[in-house]
Structure 1
Amino acid sequence: MKYDVVVIGGGPSGLMAAITAGRNGANTLLIEKGNKLGRKLAISGGGRCNVTNVLPDEELIAHIPGNGKFLYSAFSIFNNYSIIEYFESLGVKLKEEDKGRMFPVSDSAKTVVNTLVKQLDVYGVDKRLNTKVEAVHYGDETHEIILENEKIPTSCVVIAVGGKSVPNTGSEGQGYAWAKKAGHTITELYPTEVPLTSNEPFIKNKTLQGLSLYDVEVTALKPNGKPIQSHRWDLLFTHQGLSGPAALRLSQFIVKALKKFKVDTIDIAIDCFPDEGEQNLVNRLMKQAKEHPNKSIKQVWKGLVPERYLLFLMEQINLDPTTTYHHLKKKEVLDLAHAMKNFKLKVNGTLSIEKAFITGGGVSLKEIVPNEMASKMMERLYFCGEILDIHGYTGGFNITAAFSTGFVAGLHAAQRASEAKY
């Protein structure tokens, strides 16, 4: 049996592509090599599924530093507000959380995945799970999907197999070979949205392991001390380095800087009080100490930053935490304020691409029609989602790109397949 559209990959972009193709009258097949659809969706947003972000287009695109501008055309067809309307029309109520992130009110990714899987049935999309595609053969009028014991002919192919990140969800990079076979260029692949690694002794000794700092500004610095990029969010110290949203967002800049400057480490600066000047902080520390002259400074200042971090910073500058105001030197207060505003550590890289949430690099966008997601190299071939050279920060931006490109790819594949019939 020949299909109008075959979608390979059952992640967010593949699900959206298959549903949209089916909705637009195409006889559609969705092939997924794993035993479940939407596995990456199911673990996104900590298992709650951050379906999109409500920021306006300009800001949304600014949060997709990996070629976000390419998405203007796709967003003009199906954007973050379209995603919200789409889910709410299907009875999935959404709520807005900090930084514009949209979650299902149920706080369960299963709500989102189950709703999409039901839509496949509504539009008669055939599903094949536990099915590995061995190869894709391209023809003049018909493409063939090669399975272990079967060939499936189709008018149009949508490749939605993801990148190389989180391989346990099925993203192992197999789609790059099919893209190359069609004449596409694959840009260099690298990890993004990935924890940072460090060989600093206090990291190795796990001194701060498991400690979180909230709403801090974290800056990656060039070898000359000038800033590369800053992110303000939460930070987590791990046994290998740094994680949490602020670190994850910096990761791609670290990868590129290590390469660009040909250095082994990049300095990171942590500012616990991004809204307060250093001198102001000095005055505040002095005032608090003076108001409680007989208490140890550790007791007086313990609410400013987590106590473990406070003691760690005091140790870095050789300040005895049991000191009271009577024995406190002005220089010690200056040094502590500076450490709270500008603690530096060296990072030497990131965890591997397999440990990353998102793959940087992919199918070159110069070879893709932006308002169709169609290949410029091969007729009736479409791409969507993370296989493309597009990547955003965590916070609903990658899923927005996946749903948007999936919708556009499915729509145009269905239209092209119907033209091919007549």
Structure 2
Amino acid sequence: MTYQVTVIGGGPSGLMAAIAAAEQGVDTLLIDKGKKLGTKLAISGGGRCNVTNRLPEEEVIKHIPGNGKFLYSPFSVFNNYDIIDFFEGLGVALKEEDHGRMFPVSNKAKDVVQALLNRLDELNVEVRKSTPVEAIHYGENGHQIILKNKEKISTKAVILAVGGKAVPHTGSTGDGYAWAKKAGHTITELFPTEVPLISKDPLIKEKTLQGLSLRDVDVSVLNQKGKRIVTHRMDMLFTHFGLSGPAILRCSQYVVKEFMKGHRPVTIEIDALPDKNESELYEYLQELVKDQSKKAFRNVIKGIVPERLLDYLLSQTNVNHEDKAANISNQTLQALVQLLKHFEVSIHDSQPIEKAFVTGGGVSIKEIVPNTMQSKMMNGLYFCGEILDIHGYTGGYNITSAMVTGRVAGMHAAWESMG
């Protein structure tokens, strides 16, 4: 049997692509090597599924530092607001949380996955699970997909929605890159993004601050000259191997890019009190010392940052717990201000791409038609989702990119296959 559109990969982009193709009325097949569809959706947003983000289009694209501008074209066809309407149309009520993140009101990712599966059923999309693909043979007027069990499937159009290399237990193990190359595509260098960072600093090795989280701090990545490359204000966490938490994940791709230039280690700078500048903080500490000179200095400034961090910083400035505020020199105060505002951790490595949330790099977007997601190298070949060289921060941005590119690829593959 010949299908008009065959989608390989049943993640967010593949499910959207199959639905969009079938809505145009063409025979659609969805193949996935896993036992279940939508596994990455099911674990996203901590199992609640961060479906998309409600921020204005401009802002969403800003939060996709890896080639987000490419998405202006697909967004003109189907954007983040259309995703919200789409799910509400399927009966999944959504609610907005901090930073524009949209979740199902039920807080259950499986409701989102189920709504998509029900829609595939309604549209009579043929779904084959536990069906690994061995190879794709490209032809002039159609393509042949060879399954691992040697069965051959003929199709007018193929949509590759197989994901990248991050979170491999969901099935994204990088299979699609070879198929893209075979069609003449360039794969840009792959690297982990949204990934925890590893440090060999004594502070980390001795587990001094392990398990401590800092709220709403400024985390910056410094270049070789000590200039800031990027700063994110969010929460972060000290771990047994290094640093993690939202601010660190956001900064991680900039660290990894420095590694790719041969710069190692890379310095992460933490500003624990971003709302006060150095002179304000210095004056504030001086006031405290003057007003409570008879008390122990540690008790005077207690609560300014979490206790474990405070004790570590005091040990770094040679202040004992008993030292009276009156005996603290201005020089010591200056040193403490310096540490509170410029706490540095050397990053020696990142966790591997398999531990990352998102893959950086992929099929070069220069070789894709932006408003159709069609390959410029091969007729009847389309790409969507994380296999593309597009990556965003966590917060609903990658899923938005996947669903938008999936929707556009599915519509256009269907139209082309009817042509």
Larger mean CA deviation between 296-305 and 273-282 belongs to 296-305
Aligned residue for 2:97? 97
Aligned residue for 1:259? 260
Query: Following superposition of structure 1 onto structure 2, how do residues 154-233 of structure 1 map, counting pairs within 5 Å?
Result: 154-233=155-234
- Aligned amino acid, residue 382 of structure 1: Y
Query: For residues 297-330 of structure 1, what are the alpha-carbon distances to aligned partners after superposition, in whole Å with 9 as ceiling and x for unaligned?
Result: 3333332211111111111221223323232222
Query: Any idea what SS the aligned residue of 1:134 has?
Result: strand
- Aligned amino acid, residue 230 of structure 1: T
Q: CA deviation at 1:244?
A: 0.9
Q: CA deviation at 1:41?
A: 1.0
Aligned residue for 1:13? 13
Aligned residue for 2:417? 417
Retained in 1: the 8 A contact 2:300–2:325? Answer: no
Looking at structure 2, the residues matched to 301 and 89 of structure 1 have their Cα atoms a distance apart, in angstroms, of 54
Aligned residue for 2:312? 312
Is the counterpart of residue 322 in structure 1 residue 322 in structure 2? yes
Aligned residue for 2:135? 135
Change (3 A) 1:272 1:117: same
Aligned residue for 2:343? 343
Query: Following superposition of structure 1 onto structure 2, how do residues 136-155 of structure 1 map, counting pairs within 5 Å?
Result: 136-147=136-147, 148-155=149-156
Query: For residues 365-414 of structure 1, what are the alpha-carbon distances to aligned partners after superposition, in whole Å with 9 as ceiling and x for unaligned?
Result: 11110000001111111000000010111111101100000000001011
Change (3 A) 1:108 1:291: farther
- Aligned amino acid, residue 45 of structure 1: G
Change (3 A) 1:91 1:300: farther
Query: Any idea what SS the aligned residue of 1:300 has?
Result: helix
Is the counterpart of residue 380 in structure 1 residue 380 in structure 2? yes
Q: What CA RMSD, in Å, does the superposition of the two structures yield over aligned residues?
A: 1.3
Query: For residues 73-128 of structure 1, what are the alpha-carbon distances to aligned partners after superposition, in whole Å with 9 as ceiling and x for unaligned?
Result: 00111111111111122221222222221111222211211111111111111111
Show structure 2 runs of 5+ residues with no match.
Answer: none
Q: CA deviation at 1:152?
A: 1.0
- Aligned amino acid, residue 58 of structure 1: E
Query: Any idea what SS the aligned residue of 2:221 has?
Result: strand
Looking at structure 2, the residues matched to 266 and 198 of structure 1 have their Cα atoms a distance apart, in angstroms, of 10
- Aligned amino acid, residue 312 of structure 1: Y
Query: Any idea what SS the aligned residue of 2:88 has?
Result: helix
Query: Following superposition of structure 1 onto structure 2, how do residues 244-255 of structure 1 map, counting pairs within 5 Å?
Result: 244-255=245-256
Query: For residues 137-193 of structure 1, what are the alpha-carbon distances to aligned partners after superposition, in whole Å with 9 as ceiling and x for unaligned?
Result: 111222111111311111111000000111101011010011111111111111111
What stretches of structure 1 move > 6 A for 4+ residues in a row?
none
Query: Following superposition of structure 1 onto structure 2, how do residues 20-169 of structure 1 map, counting pairs within 5 Å?
Result: 20-147=20-147, 148-169=149-170
- Aligned amino acid, residue 130 of structure 2: N
Looking at structure 2, the residues matched to 319 and 39 of structure 1 have their Cα atoms a distance apart, in angstroms, of 52
Looking at structure 2, the residues matched to 124 and 245 of structure 1 have their Cα atoms a distance apart, in angstroms, of 40
Retained in 1: the 8 A contact 2:6–2:158? Answer: yes
Q: CA deviation at 1:294?
A: 4.3
Query: For residues 48-91 of structure 1, what are the alpha-carbon distances to aligned partners after superposition, in whole Å with 9 as ceiling and x for unaligned?
Result: 11111122122211111111111100011111111111112222
Retained in 1: the 8 A contact 2:289–2:326? Answer: no
Q: CA deviation at 1:289?
A: 4.0
- Aligned amino acid, residue 221 of structure 2: A
Looking at structure 2, the residues matched to 300 and 84 of structure 1 have their Cα atoms a distance apart, in angstroms, of 50
Aligned residue for 2:334? 334
Looking at structure 2, the residues matched to 104 and 298 of structure 1 have their Cα atoms a distance apart, in angstroms, of 46
Q: CA deviation at 1:194?
A: 0.6
Larger mean CA deviation between 108-117 and 364-373 belongs to 108-117
Retained in 1: the 8 A contact 2:258–2:264? Answer: no
Query: For residues 214-264 of structure 1, what are the alpha-carbon distances to aligned partners after superposition, in whole Å with 9 as ceiling and x for unaligned?
Result: 11111111121111111111111111111111111111111111232x332
Looking at structure 1, the residues matched to 79 and 394 of structure 2 have their Cα atoms a distance apart, in angstroms, of 17
Query: Any idea what SS the aligned residue of 1:345 has?
Result: strand
> How many residue pairs are counted as aligned between the two chains?
418
Change (3 A) 1:300 1:92: farther
Aligned residue for 1:284? 284
Aligned residue for 2:365? 365
Query: Any idea what SS the aligned residue of 2:232 has?
Result: strand
- Aligned amino acid, residue 336 of structure 2: L
Looking at structure 2, the residues matched to 11 and 55 of structure 1 have their Cα atoms a distance apart, in angstroms, of 23
- Aligned amino acid, residue 183 of structure 2: A
Change (3 A) 1:265 1:135: same
Looking at structure 2, the residues matched to 296 and 82 of structure 1 have their Cα atoms a distance apart, in angstroms, of 59
TM-score when normalising by structure 1: 0.96
- Aligned amino acid, residue 201 of structure 1: P
- Aligned amino acid, residue 111 of structure 1: D
Query: Any idea what SS the aligned residue of 1:314 has?
Result: helix
Q: CA deviation at 1:265?
A: 0.6
Retained in 1: the 8 A contact 2:41–2:109? Answer: yes
Looking at structure 2, the residues matched to 201 and 378 of structure 1 have their Cα atoms a distance apart, in angstroms, of 53
Percent of residue pairs identical: 60
Query: Any idea what SS the aligned residue of 2:15 has?
Result: helix
Retained in 1: the 8 A contact 2:51–2:399? Answer: yes
- Aligned amino acid, residue 192 of structure 1: T
Show structure 1 runs of 5+ residues with no match.
Answer: none
Aligned residue for 2:300? 300
Retained in 1: the 8 A contact 2:195–2:249? Answer: yes
- Aligned amino acid, residue 25 of structure 1: G
- Aligned amino acid, residue 307 of structure 2: E
